Structure 1
Amino acid sequence: MPTATRERLASSKITLHHPIDYYFDIFFRAKKIEGLKPRTLNDHKSHYRYLQRWLTKHHPTLKLEELTADHFRQYVGHMLTEQALYDGHPTLQDHNTAQGLSPATVNIRTRTLKCFLRFLHDEGYLQTDLASRVKLQKVKEDTLGAFEKEQVLQLLAAPNQREYTGFRDYVLLTLLFDTGLRINEALNLTADDLDVANRTITVRATVAKNGTSRVVPVRKRTAELLAALIQENRKQFATRCPSTVFLLNYGKPLTYNQAYERIRLHGDKAGITGVRVSPHTFRHTFATLYVLNGGDPFTLQKILGHHDFSMVRKYVQVNQRDLQEKHEQSSPLAGV
């Protein structure tokens, strides 16, 4: 109920007394009907849950019509200074007491909440457009890290390939390094998505973050490893083997949280320091090394699946040593 309904509500002075959760359920149902991807829906739900927890503690009787932009500014301040760094993480929340989220993480959560607020205003539940008054944090560019070349080799050497889970992890790490796939794109890969002869994998539209399918090239070695893992899956799990490539050792698909934890463990084993060992770091590493090795940024944009070239720029992080090496190779005075 856009403008006309909102005006009727205002003129009749109808007071809404439902809890805020009631309106989030309406919002969430609308987003499901719009066809948002499960990961996006989960983000909306978990980010609202963090807000809800904060409101329960600091404003337990707050009604929707009492919400102001200042409530959200207070909450943003809480995220920046007081929010437990790994709150809600399946494995790290009990082992790390650090507080204060990065501005980039705060922006991710703020964007989903602004989407909720904008919906409430557009539908006539909020008379004030609070979303436009809640601002994002300024984030420094070039803050997204990547692995050094030596760290790539250390990580690939970490899994024990004599075990099924170790071999599976090795193939996953190889795939992420070789293609820059998002972790969910890799975990949803099926045997039918792999073309060994042409050395490509298809990221289906239903899996891709932007809803657009793309074909990603892989090296011959990576294609062979994926084919070998598929064969091992069929041997291990016989008729009950799903088509998904990356499985647990009892045949169920590997989940995001489980993959995140396995990658973190391999990072610990490899002694990686100075950079976050997470699935997304592999994507940054692929982009950076791709360009350093001579790949052009326009091809990189297609491989990464970005419509906006500015996003590609954020993924390419060249450190000072690489910058100096590239200058030595490319300077007009090279070889003079």
Structure 2
Amino acid sequence: MKAGRASVKTTRKGTYDLEYIFDRLCDAKRAENVVQETIDKYMRACRYLSDYAGEIGVSADIRHIDVDFARGFVSWLINDKIKFDGHNFKLDEHKTQGLSPRSVNDCIKTIRTFFRFAIKEAYADDNPFEEVTLITNPESPINILSPDEMRAILNAMDQRSFVEFRDYVALI
């Protein structure tokens, strides 16, 4: 030990409660001057994890989260989680079952970040959400014109007018 410096022993807090660790993450993000919307996203992900743990009868303890839990959680978000549940100003008809693929993917990414923090802070040994793949967002088909519809549009344009000739050339 160097002269003039006291020895500092680092100890863990001893708690593995999800809310406690999410609070630590939020404190760290505030210290990094992260915007409030991001911190709200972390707290929402914590609430979702805790809700899911309660639904399957498991305590909200980080040690209970493994790959099977993570996959079940994602399935719950897609199929069972009520969108806008607890939101005071949304109408009941907007509170539908299942979140969108984009919302689920945002949640997965947020929880991955949470687990990276938990590993760094020695609350967890591994990140079960690294094994979870992101949800593919089904693409809506593009409605294209039939050849007859395209011919009708092109034939309707007056090619002697500059604007319509320009549009005709752009469509060809």
TM value normalised by structure 2: 0.68
Q: Aligned pair in 2 of structure 1 residues 331, 103: CA closer, same or farther (>3 Å)? A: same
The one-letter code matched in structure 1 to 2:22 is F
Q: Aligned pair in 2 of structure 1 residues 332, 112: CA closer, same or farther (>3 Å)? A: closer
- Counterpart position of 2:28: 30
- Counterpart position of 2:124: 126
Aligned-CA RMSD value? 3.1
Q: CA–CA distance in 2 between the matches of 1:39 and 1:51?
A: 18
Contact 2:50–2:60 (8 Å) recurs in 1: no
- Residues 108-155 of structure 1 deviation map (CA, whole Å, 9 limit, x = unaligned): 222211111121123222111323212210113468xxxxxxxxxxxx
Q: Pick the structure with greater CA Rg.
A: 2
The one-letter code matched in structure 2 to 1:79 is L
- Counterpart position of 1:21: 19
- Counterpart position of 2:37: 39
Q: CA–CA distance in 1 between the matches of 2:171 and 2:126?
A: 61
Q: CA–CA distance in 2 between the matches of 1:127 and 1:121?
A: 6
Which is bigger in relative contact order (C-alpha 8 A, separation at least 6)?
2
Q: Aligned pair in 2 of structure 1 residues 103, 91: CA closer, same or farther (>3 Å)? A: same
Q: Aligned pair in 2 of structure 1 residues 141, 38: CA closer, same or farther (>3 Å)? A: same
- Pairwise CA distance, 1:62: 4.9
The one-letter code matched in structure 1 to 2:136 is K
- Report matched runs for 1:242-321 at 5 Å: 320=144
Q: CA–CA distance in 2 between the matches of 1:96 and 1:332?
A: 41
- Counterpart position of 1:100: 98
Contact 1:17–1:64 (8 Å) recurs in 2: no
Q: Aligned pair in 2 of structure 1 residues 32, 93: CA closer, same or farther (>3 Å)? A: farther
Partner-residue secondary structure (3-state), 1:124 = coil
One of 66, 72, 90 as aligned partner of 2:88: 90
One of 58, 62, 65 as aligned partner of 2:63: 65
Query: How high is the sequence identity, in percent, across the aligned residues?
Result: 25
- Counterpart position of 1:114: 112
Contact 2:78–2:104 (8 Å) recurs in 1: yes
Structure 2 segments unaligned to the other structure (5+ residues)? 1-11, 155-166
Q: Aligned pair in 2 of structure 1 residues 332, 126: CA closer, same or farther (>3 Å)? A: closer
Contact 1:114–1:134 (8 Å) recurs in 2: no
TM value normalised by structure 1: 0.37
Partner-residue secondary structure (3-state), 2:29 = helix
- Pairwise CA distance, 1:98: 2.4
The one-letter code matched in structure 1 to 2:116 is R
Contact 1:118–1:131 (8 Å) recurs in 2: no
Partner-residue secondary structure (3-state), 2:85 = coil
Partner-residue secondary structure (3-state), 1:86 = coil
Structure 1 segments unaligned to the other structure (5+ residues)? 1-13, 144-317
